[in-house]
Each structure stands twice: as structure tokens, then as C-alpha cells.
Amino acid sequence: MVRNPRSIAPTRLLAAAALLCVVSCQVAPPPARVDGPAGRVRAAHRAEAEAIREVFEDLGPRIAALLPDADCRAEEVWVQAEPGLYRFSGNSYAEADGFWSESHRRIHLRQDAESLPRTLAHELVHASIGSSWSALPGTLEEGLCDVVSVLLCPDDAIEMRTGRLSAAAFATGGLELEVELYLPPSAADGALQVGSLTRMRLQGPVAPSFDPEDVFAVEAGLSTTQLPTNDKKALYGLSYLVVHRIVERIGFVGLHQLCVSATEAGYDEVPTSWLLDAAGLSRAGRREWRAALQQEIGIDELTTLVRLYPDLLVDSAARFLGRQTQLEGARDGAAPVSACVRVTGAGTQLSLDLDVGPDGLRRAAVTSLPETTGRPE
């Protein structure tokens, strides 16, 4: 059958116009370009592109060696002030430090991300895992990416772990802590040490009615998923918890085998019961999830929490010292206070000192907080 050329021309014109619109709407690539064996890196400055190229070339083979059915498909990495594909894409990635575009085979990173190497590792996992991993439900692929990035970029992983675990704890009712405070005998004006024990729950902006098992149903990592920011953070935290516990028990190979077995059994996704069993969790509810989260808080995470929320100590010290009339004579100088912070139900505790300045309790501050090791246990 011969087609009328006049009827074909408008179609070709429309297709050409659509292509021109797509090309013209794309963001311009960053100006500095560096090519290497792993692919191309673009950034605002050549030195920045070179630094990311080195990380790119280091991480790809390590991810492939760590995960079954993993082979990097990313051909380019763009470091941008604001990660994006198109000039008029709205705020799809407004809160993201990075994302993987499968259609462009390209990773986009935020220039001022808290950790570019860790973000790159996270996105490289998305860019590397094969179709056999597609049975991971809900947000669990994000948890897989986070667990791998912690392992491969440990020097700055504690802040990410602390953020993920605390966000998840907020979603399950808050993080339960015990704060014990003591005045030395001299400040207490006697031979006896004066002390106080306060139990508190550190809560965040996520409603405690949040259902933890939503992590198996909601794909929080998709740019098209409309979720409040804090709910998305909570799901990422719960995903990290689940995948971390599974990998601790059966490894990445075991997690991958769950995906393979589910597909072979005719499931589109790994059943929730399989994942809960592999993670050592049950369907008992929010309380058990919170207990599991609290067990994950180690000394470095607790130290980071105290740095992030110093008021939990300062306010407790102010209330405690306000009840101690013996302190009145010490306000001309500084009154030392010993403190111990514990995670309820876990073996983690942190000892430190507080100073109360000469102008009163509101000037109490952490003075002996230890440095974190920067590496998860």
C-alpha cells in the first residue's frame, strides 16, 4: 500500500517538533567534562569532576562484587547545583541529593550534598542491580542502596545511619532514652552525691500512627510518589532497618535469593511475611519495630543524636539543677554535672559532663562529648 506523502508530512513535522521540544527543555550539562573507563563525569569545575570520576571508577566494581546480578549501567554522572533532567520539571527532585535516570543512563548528584561519594554509591546501586532484584517491594530498594553505601563509604556513614534510624523511630512512636544526672559531692554541699533519673521519649514530626509495614507497600523513592517529606524519610529509615537486619542474617546473597524464589513461585514481589521472618521481625506491631530500632542505636549513633538534640540534656539538667538549692553558691563559677544517657532496652550508654555557666542553668552545654569513630560497628 502506498501512502500519500501529503498525509505523512504533518506526522513527521509533529514528531520533529516534539523531539525539538524535548531537547530544548533539557537542562544544559555542567561545563567541565572528564572522561574515564567507567564513563563521563560533568561538574561545574574540572577538579570536582576529576574527584567524582575517581570515586565512580572505584565504586562500580565494588558494588558488582558485593551484589549478585549487578553490573553498572550508568554512562554519565552529572554534578549539579539542583539535580534535574528538564528545565521545567517542577520540584520532583527538590529534596533529593541525587537520582538515577534509567532512560538517560545517567546519575545526577546535588553539588552540596552532605556526602557526594555516599550519594553516588546509593545511586550506583540503583544503576547496577539487574531485573532479578525487581521483586523487592515498596521502598526496600532504597534500603538496599543505603546499606551498600554505608559499607562502601563508612567514614561519613554514621550521620546517615543516625538520620535514618531516628526518622524510623519517630514514625514508630519515638526514641526512648534515659538521662541520669549527678552533682559531685562538693557541688551538692555534702558527702553524698545528688542524682536524678529521667525517662524521656525523643519524638519528631512524624505522626506515631504511621504504619511501619507501609515500607512494603509504598514506593517512596519514586519522584512521582506524593508523600510528605517526613513520611518519606520515615519510610527510608524503616527500609534501611529491614534490609540491614536481613543482610546481617542471610547476607546480600540471601536477600537476592528471596527475590529469585518469589519470582519462581509466581509472586510479583517478595511476600511481606518472608521479609519480616528474614529480618527477625514479626507482625506484632509498632512496639516491636521500635524495640528493633533501639537495638540498632550504637554509641556513635547516640553521640550523634546528642549533638543533634543537645536540648534533651540541657533541659533535663536545668530541671534537675533547679531543684537543687545547694547549687546557688556555685553559680558564681561553673558547676560541673555528670550525665549518662542510655537507650532504653539496649546496652548503649554515653557518659559525659555538663557545665553550668555563671549566668544560670540556661547556659548549660555539653563539654566532653567524645568524637565518633565515623564507622558503623
Residue ranges of domains in the chain: 32-129, 175-202+299-366
Each residue's pLDDT tens digit, 261-281: 999 999 999 999 999 999 999
Of the pLDDT bands very low, low, confident and very high (cuts 50, 70, 90), residue 124 is very high
Q: In this predicted structure, what is the pLDDT of residue 349?
A: 85
Task: Look at residues 235, 249, 236, 219 and name the one whose alpha carbon lies nearest to residue 134.
Answer: 219
User: What region, left, alpha or beta, does residue 219 occupy, with left being phi > 0 and alpha being psi -120 to 50 degrees?
Assistant: beta
Pairwise CA distance, residues 174 & 206, whole Å: 9
Burial tier of 208 (Cβ tally within 10 Å: 0-12, 13-18, 19+)? middle
Chain length of the chain = 377
> Residue range 124-144: average pLDDT?
98
Each residue's pLDDT tens digit, 52-62: 999 999 999 99
Greatest mean pLDDT among 63-67, 191-195, 367-371 lies in 63-67
Q: pTM of the prediction?
A: 0.83
Pairwise CA distance, residues 82 & 128, whole Å: 23
Pairwise CA distance, residues 18 & 114, whole Å: 37
Q: What count of other Cβ atoms lies within 10 Å of the Cβ of residue 81?
A: 10
Each residue's pLDDT tens digit, 162-194: 999 988 888 888 888 888 877 766 655 554 455
Sorted by sequence, the CB contacts under 8 Å of residue 159 that are 6+ apart come out as 114, 304
Residue 259 pLDDT exceeds 90: yes
Q: In this predicted structure, what is the pLDDT of residue 286?
A: 80
Of the pLDDT bands very low, low, confident and very high (cuts 50, 70, 90), residue 88 is low
Q: In this predicted structure, what is the pLDDT of residue 264?
A: 98
Compute the Cα dihedral for 347, 341, 282, 125 and give only its sign. negative
